[in-house]
Structure 1
């Protein structure tokens, strides 16, 4: 697996500049864990517990992914579920189970096939193994098809997304002001085209506390004049600490902010994390904000779903090579929570998706001086099972795993004690 993950070595060490251990440790542990899951499957099959074996590997890996989702540098980003982002019927399962139900089904299919091959010539047992798997897979896909066929919402909002990759990070006051003026002009252009919200990327530059008023004076008048809400990401440095911050400009209202909660090590290890949600004021619909890495984790996205938002704004900064993989992770949060996503990423994509995960518009950010996208976004909030019960499925998988391990212990006990009992 280390050889197969050399692409991740390039990404983690050479692109993200993380230490070699950031690649070596997880990609050494993962194959050992998977091998352990396969051995659990094999042991159960040899003990005659083929149905338990079919469930054991999916349950084991689902629990592993759930535990890994608490890692600060990872979250859910390593989940197998993200391989299904383009397969919308399967993706809808996330509205019930989060990514973990998708992982479970992805591994249950090969587990059942393998068990059925082992049972060659035993048609009855083969059916007992294959039928539950096919029923679960068919049920998930049928649910997805029905959910996708639900009528769309008539309520809509026009969102403009805006980015320039010409200035990746403005690290001084003069450059930051010049960049703000450029964003002001482009934001005003999108507002004239009907954008009710204009979203700019994460961490456009360094904003010193002493410069905040003059920076706000560049963008706030656009909001006041056009009636459009503007959102831009900055690295806000105060005398005490620094924040990865989204500044929100609402017509005729004071500037409000949202601070990123999940910070990316090692780049943001010295920043102060946020802890609060942010809902845009004065809009006719509830709209929230999260920043980039926040979307790799269950929270705050789940909290926004429970708050009933219909659109989540995601200013971000991707790293070019991960624009498709990491840029689309946010889409799953929208399916889980029942809301649309607007994602603006430096070195990535401008992407808008609906609450079913359909991509409504997407533009690369490396085309021209400013990249922009306007999308008319259908708005609704279906309270999902995942909204209501959160991370319930990994705990169910944990129960399955414990039951399978107990079954294995009893099976092994029977095997080892058999010669003794026969004497």
Structure 2
């Protein structure tokens, strides 16, 4: 009789191995290539463990690997602790369920189904999270953004949104674990490896060949000067000093550079309804003197409410245009009012331009309106929280790939980022950048068909659940002798 394997080494390998890789790979400044390995220890371990040991391994791996993100939400964003705890519990539970489904399928001898099921389960968890947290987070939470610096992979977002990138990112390590799983056969392993390699090759070919001609270019910049706080009152000494600093910098930029548009950061000043007209006139005079169109982030009082606004101030002295932020940060922006007016069109070279504000770029459905209206350039005041500068800018860059627009984004405590419709970062710095940026829109499959990729993913997941509940007659004979423990269950 074959001796039962010791579970502790597999528990430690699966839990700590994946938690360590995930903790470094799924982070605000990720080690991107680790994500292509992260699930392997966990997926290798769980088919070799009893149910309760596998449950513990999966929960420890997912919770440990995402712990830094939860800490960031609680600390930097001041998210209520109850919300963080509940969200961590729900997402960890769902990720664990996807892992246990993989385990059960392997133990049923359904290796092909397991190979497709685990990536589908991870995508389904991300989608469920975007629905549960639709107002506050949108599509902010996704493994896909860890690959935002890899332009060839990022092009997949123009077809499938972030869902296809997450699927590919988890499918390759799933293939490796499935080939190594108990009961795996050489011919089946070769087939799984071939499908995984073909998917990666197809994504890379599309990433290299994707047409993204955006036509004419302009010189665009982003600027954020140091400030002790956001939403400074303009009638205070500190507010006047900061306005004077911006005036000097913008006049100097106008004298040195042939700059067409300059984006400033989010809610720099708080302006009352009575102050709005005269104050915007001061900025309009500055735009005319510098010969630069400006986009200014303000907290504006309008009709008894305070809105988080992006204000377009043209250099020809014409009337400003205003966009109000639609998705506010829970807790930190509870004193403001969300808008539902949609994007604001502004005139520009090469087609329509528009504005948005920071967190609105976390929401794929909101930004789909920009793709529908064929905006080729989006100008975005933003704030950020220091540690999340890379991550939040890359979430925004990914929206540009999905909807086919260039982006100029100014993150006050993050990064100044200029990118094109392929997600190529044309310029980036902590305080000031200038770049030649194309302004024409690029049509994308994702803009036209939306979340179409979720349909086959959810169908595959539901099919896998059904097959997992139906044991194969030869599964126990092929898998059980080398893997079962005395307390084991399928």
Do these two structures clear the TM 0.5 threshold for a shared fold by scoring above it?
A: yes
Taking the TM superposition and a 5 Å limit, the aligned residue runs for 1:24-423 are: 24-70=85-131, 71=133, 72-118=135-181, 122-147=185-210, 150=211, 153=214, 155-175=216-236, 176-192=239-255, 193-250=257-314, 251-275=316-340, 276-281=342-347, 283-365=349-431, 372-411=432-471
Give the aligned length. Answer: 408
In the alignment, which residue of structure 1 is the partner of 2:10? none
Secondary structure of 1:279's counterpart equals strand
The answer to whether the 8 Å contact 1:180/1:219 transfers is: no
In the alignment, which residue of structure 1 is the partner of 2:482? none
Secondary structure of 2:334's counterpart equals coil
Q: 1:141 to 1:415 in 2, by over 3 A?
A: closer
Q: Which runs of 5+ in 1 are unaligned?
A: 366-371, 417-423
The answer to whether the 8 Å contact 1:338/1:384 transfers is: yes
Question: For 1:218 and 1:252, how far apart are their aligned partners in 2?
Answer: 11
Deviation at 1:238, TM superposition (A): 3.0
Question: For 1:200 and 1:151, how far apart are their aligned partners in 2?
Answer: 27
Which one is further off, 201-210 or 379-388? Answer: 379-388
Question: For 1:302 and 1:283, how far apart are their aligned partners in 2?
Answer: 21
Secondary structure of 1:118's counterpart equals coil
Deviations 1:188-217 (A, max 9, x none): 333341111111011102111111012111
Which one is further off, 380-389 or 275-284? Answer: 275-284
In the alignment, which residue of structure 2 is the partner of 1:368? none
Secondary structure of 1:273's counterpart equals coil
Question: For 1:142 and 1:29, how far apart are their aligned partners in 2?
Answer: 37
Question: For 1:120 and 1:337, how far apart are their aligned partners in 2?
Answer: 44
Deviations 1:273-300 (A, max 9, x none): 1222112136553111111101111032
Q: 1:151 to 1:247 in 2, by over 3 A?
A: closer
Aligned-residue CA RMSD (Å):
2.3
Secondary structure of 2:124's counterpart equals helix
Deviation at 1:226, TM superposition (A): 4.9
Q: 1:384 to 1:282 in 2, by over 3 A?
A: closer
Question: For 1:415 and 1:161, how far apart are their aligned partners in 2?
Answer: 60
The answer to whether the 8 Å contact 1:158/1:374 transfers is: yes
Deviation at 1:411, TM superposition (A): 3.4
Q: TM-score, normalised by structure 2?
A: 0.78
Question: For 1:244 and 1:88, how far apart are their aligned partners in 2?
Answer: 32
Deviations 1:338-393 (A, max 9, x none): 1111110111111111111111111113xxxxxx2211112332201011011111
Secondary structure of 1:411's counterpart equals coil
The answer to whether the 8 Å contact 2:400/2:423 transfers is: yes
Deviations 1:315-353 (A, max 9, x none): 100111111112221110111111111110111111111
Deviation at 1:9, TM superposition (A): 4.4
Question: For 1:310 and 1:388, how far apart are their aligned partners in 2?
Answer: 15
Question: For 1:322 and 1:124, how far apart are their aligned partners in 2?
Answer: 45
Question: For 1:151 and 1:292, how far apart are their aligned partners in 2?
Answer: 24
Secondary structure of 1:223's counterpart equals helix
Question: For 2:349 and 2:414, how far apart are their aligned partners in 1?
Answer: 28
Which one is further off, 129-138 or 170-179? Answer: 170-179
Q: Which runs of 5+ in 2 are unaligned?
A: 1-61, 477-490
Deviation at 1:94, TM superposition (A): 0.4
